[in-house]
Amino acid sequence: APLKIAVVPGDGIGVEVMPYGVQCLKTVASIFDIPLQFESFDFASCDYYQKHGAMMPDDWKKTLLPFDAIYFGAVGMPDIVPDDVSLWGSLLKFRREFDQYINLRPCRLMPGVRCPLAGRKPGDIDFWIVRENTEGEYSSIGGKIFEGTDRETVIQETVMTRVGVDRVLRYAFELAQSRPRKRLTSATKSNGISITMPYWDTRVVEMAKNYPDVALDKYHIDILTAHFVQKPNMFDVIVGSNLFGDILSDLGPACTGTIGIAPSGNINPDGKFPSLFEPVHGSAPDIAGKGLANPVGMIWAGQMMLEHFGYKDAAAVMLKAIENVLARSEPDVVTRDMGGNGTTKSFGEAVAGEIASL
Amino acid sequence: APLKIAVVPGDGIGVEVMPYGVQCLKTVASIFDIPLQFESFDFASCDYYQKHGAMMPDDWKKTLLPFDAIYFGAVGMPDIVPDDVSLWGSLLKFRREFDQYINLRPCRLMPGVRCPLAGRKPGDIDFWIVRENTEGEYSSIGGKIFEGTDRETVIQETVMTRVGVDRVLRYAFELAQSRPRKRLTSATKSNGISITMPYWDTRVVEMAKNYPDVALDKYHIDILTAHFVQKPNMFDVIVGSNLFGDILSDLGPACTGTIGIAPSGNINPDGKFPSLFEPVHGSAPDIAGKGLANPVGMIWAGQMMLEHFGYKDAAAVMLKAIENVLARSEPDVVTRDMGGNGTTKSFGEAVAGEIASL
Ligand SMILES: CC(C)[C@H](C(=O)O)[C@@H](O)C(=O)O
Ligand SMILES: CC(C)[C@H](C(=O)O)[C@@H](O)C(=O)O
């Protein structure tokens, strides 16, 4: 049976990078004879919102459920639709309602990429961020009282459940266990956020008992961001709450050169629902429409999708192709964020060509 | 009348760096004839907790209220007292109950300090972080239900009030207005944290109307941390919630070389309560007891205290002395975090000596 992929480009540069992600996937699929089947959707975009008054049709869940994965660009056009409306009406809905409770993001200093940190070379930075993806600070519950007065008070709840915390910790410990260094770092802030974060810490200690061979440490999020800059080589696998994982997985790719190349898997490990693969970068309204966006985050997200489907060899070839094109970093090929003057097209086609040639 | 300073060294390296802070302040005070009067307290430490079962005596507020300022080291010994207990029993109590609603932190690349970012030189990075310091994510309200079962659920509230948000924004806009670049950046996360953060954004827009000459922008916290690494020169004044300010003010100093030199003012601008000055670094149990801690954060915090008292000339001399000693960065003088093999003593005395010689 074919693997059905729902293509949801979204907004801004999401629409621009998507074709190259699909092109690369089609190229590798034809070489390895993988039965990928793509179907595109125009919802989960601010354009759609403007026409229909909602980010998605009512039956979006029924529409997407039969797919094996969602290949997602980026959402957000804050001048048209407020970010909380557009995101809670699309991406965050997918994560929550398709129970994609793992957000997995590699952070790797790749050959050919200029690192903003002094003296770091490819191989020095190579870790995974495992982010809780359905609860925590992204609760969407709370509200306002005494609105419009001096007593105005706004409350939002952070919610952690044992089920939610334990399952992401288990995934992170297992990932750490599968790696040579077997090292797990937990992000916390239990000194300041005095209820939810100490709870997180307790569950970490509890879970660690099942993984005695994993070397565990924990850092408060403030000093942890400092370590990203000062000793990024110390990390192997990092696990954090929804918000902390969000922050670390932008900071990490920034430390390795550019957010434009970073991918992300929103995974439902149980396989009950489709998982979603997307670049870490957003819709970037400031550069949208110019064809200048880096397509590698989108392409690499496709690579993670193949990996998720179990096509290890094809995924390895895709990653190798990305590495080769980055390593060469030809000025006419790579985009501005990497110091080149290439376009989404030149960069995307170079990776597709490299896949075909491997 | 003398200016009364409550000296509260706390734990770990707080105790070790404090004497040099006091020495530098005494040196500059004698030159400029400033009537500083110091009194030391052993509470607000885990030692005190072990003896008395509480971080502070019941009448701490009455005791400290008559002081003009609190000069604070660092608190925390997680192996002895859980961090949330020690911090909520001391530092966070000061901030909350003395209504120190501004946490002000400079972030400056100083001469002589090795910058972990490639190609940045002194002067390239020079901004202030204004952190809300009494509410937000550090709410201390919430709780647990179905404890010990699979349904276990833990909730913590983030609380923002119009009063709390507006006063920190006002302070930040005014600081920005007083600087040549007149630029303010607001940290948000309104796409994900969908109730409190959009509220923050709304108040920013409202407040901006009073400061038409201030150039305002806003970034989600995730991409903002990325910009710290990739373009730290773009910032002038940054304002953020309690948690976001906390994160940014560790990341910022890390980007400028070492957290060991960064100071922090916890300010009650109304003057109803004493303000508190402390280094940004913590008690650092891992290096405590060795005399190897960098004393500059503590000394610079003293400099901010003088500035707060209105002694501009004396404060300028202290800052110049810090700069000179950093610029020379003699290996036998400066501490390990700055690539030297000096001690707290050699470094602290060098700054005191430099003050005396200016
Ligand atoms: C020690 C801790 C509670 C504190 C905070 O989170 O505010 C510290 O990190 C700081 O930045 O002053
Ligand atoms: C767009 C936004 C809601 C999202 C998040 O905060 O999760 C993004 O930053 C991400 O990291 O995927």
Enumerate the H helices of B54-192 as residue ranges.
60-64, 83-88, 91-97, 162-177
* Residue A180, CB-side half-sphere exposure with 13 Å CA sphere: 2
Largest CA distance in chain B: 66
| Alpha carbon distance A154, B305 (integer Å) | 33
Q: Strand A237-240 relative to strand A102-108: parallel, antiparallel, unpaired?
A: unpaired
pLDDT single digits (tens) B129-159: 999 999 999 998 999 999 999 999 999 999 9
Q: Is A119 in contact with A142 (CB distance < 8 Å)?
A: no
Sequence-separated (6 or more) residues with CB below 8 Å from residue B183: B176, B214, B215, B216, B217, B235, B236, B237
| Beta bridge pairs of residue B279 | B263
Q: Is B126-255 in CATH node 3.40.718.10? A: yes
Locate B79 and state its tokens. Answer: 């192996």
CA contacts within 13 A on the Cβ side of B108: 17
The CATH number of the structural domain formed by A1-100+266-358 is 3.40.718.10
**For chain B (length 358 residues), average pLDDT per consecutive 10?**
97 98 98 98 98 98 98 96 95 98 97 94 96 96 96 98 98 98 98 96 98 97 97 97 98 95 97 97 94 98 98 98 97 96 98 97
Compute CA distances A69 → A8, A36, A72, A268, A307, whole Å: 11, 11, 9, 10, 12
Rg (CA), chain B: 20
pLDDT of residue A34: 98
Transcribe B84-103 into DSSP letters.
Answer: HHHHHTTHHHHHHHTT--EE
Alpha-carbon distance of A174 to A184, in angstroms, equals: 10
Residue B274 is predicted with a pLDDT of 98
Token pair recorded at residue B19: 């004497």
Give the pair of three-digit tokens for residue A5. Answer: 């992929």
The answer to whether the Cβ–Cβ distance between B192 and A246 falls below 8 Å is: yes
Binding-face residues of A in 114-143 toward B, CB within 8 A: 115-119, 137-138, 140-143
CA-based nearest residue in chain A for residue B223: A250
The candidate with the shortest Cα–Cα distance to B261, out of B100, B135, B149, B114, is: B114
* pLDDT at residue number A220: 95
With contacts defined as CB-CB under 8 Å, which chain B residues touch A159? 153-155
End-to-end Cα, chain A, rounded Å: 27
Nearest CA to ligand 1 atom 9: B246
What phi, psi does B4 have (nearest 5°)?
A: -90, 125
Helix or strand run (H / E) with residue B64: helix B60-64
Q: Quote the pLDDT of residue A299.
A: 98
**Token duo for residue A143:** 């509200």
3-state class of B199 per DSSP? helix
Cα(B192) to ligand 2 centroid in Å equals 7
Q: Show me where the domains of chain B are located.
A: 1-103+270-358, 126-255
Starting at the edge strand found earlier in the chain, the sheet holding B126-132 runs B36-40, B3-10, B69-74, B275-279, B263-267, B102-108, B126-132, B237-240, B183-188, B215-220
Successive 10-residue mean pLDDT values, chain A, 358 residues:
97 98 98 98 98 98 98 96 95 98 97 94 96 96 96 98 98 98 98 96 98 97 97 97 98 95 97 97 94 98 98 98 97 96 98 97
The 3-class SS string of A90-150 reads CHHHHHHHCCCCEEEEEEECCCCCCCCECCCCCCCCEEEEEEECCCECCCCCEEEECCCCC
Q: Contact B308/B103 with Cβ under 8 angstroms?
A: no
Please name the member of A190, A194, A230 whose beta carbon is closest to the beta carbon of B116.
A230
- The pLDDT value given to residue A229: 97
Structure tokens at B91: 């530092």
> Measured between beta carbons, which residues in chain A are less than 8 angstroms from residue B152?
161-162
* Cα B73 from Cα B44, distance rounded (Å): 10
Q: How far apart are CA A235 and CA A248, in angstroms?
A: 12
For the beta carbon of residue B87, count every other beta carbon within 10 angstroms. 23
Instruction: Fill in the DSSP letter of residue B280.
Output: S
Report which DSSP code applies to B71.
E
For testing contact with chain A, the best of B153, B156, B204, B337 (most A CBs within 10 A): B156
Residue A66's Cβ-side half-sphere holds a number of Cα atoms within 13 Å equal to 9
Q: Write the single-letter amino acid at B118.
A: A
Same fold, A1-100+266-358 and A126-255: yes
Asked if A104 and A130 count as a contact pair (C-beta separation under 8 A), the reply is yes
Contact A88 B197 (CB under 8 A): no
User: By the 8 A CB rule, do B258 and B113 touch?
Assistant: yes
CB-based contacts of A303, cutoff 8 Å, min separation 6: A263, A315, A318, A319, A322
Listed by number, the residues of chain A in 1-40 with a beta carbon closer than 8 Å to a beta carbon of chain B are: none
Count CB-CB contacts under 10 A for residue B301: 25
CB contact under 8 A, B160 and A144: no
Tokens of B235: 């910032």
**A333: which DSSP letter?**
T
Fill in the DSSP letter of residue B153: E
Q: Which of A159, A163, A195 sits opposite B150 (nearest CB)?
A: A163
Residues with CB under 6 A from ligand 2: A 87, 92, 246, 282; B 191-192, 222
Of chain B, the end-to-end C-alpha distance in Å amounts to: 27
pLDDT attached to residue A48 = 98
Evaluate whether B322 touches B262 at the Cβ level (below 8 Å): no
pTM assigned to the model? 0.97
Which string of DSSP letters, residue by residue, matches A287-323?
TTTTT-S--HHHHHHHHHHHHHHT-HHHHHHHHHHHH
Dist CA B76 CA B281 (whole Å): 11
Give the pLDDT confidence of B163-210 residue by residue, as tens digits: 999 999 999 999 999 999 999 999 999 999 999 999 999 999 999 999
Q: Do A250 and B82 touch (CB under 8 A)?
A: no
Tell me which CATH homologous superfamily contains domain B1-103+270-358: Isopropylmalate Dehydrogenase (3.40.718.10)
Beta bridge partners of A275: A69
Find out whether B201 and A83 touch, Cβ atoms under 8 Å: no
pLDDT of residue A100: 98
For B338, what's the count of Cα atoms within 13 Å in the CB-facing half-sphere? Answer: 33
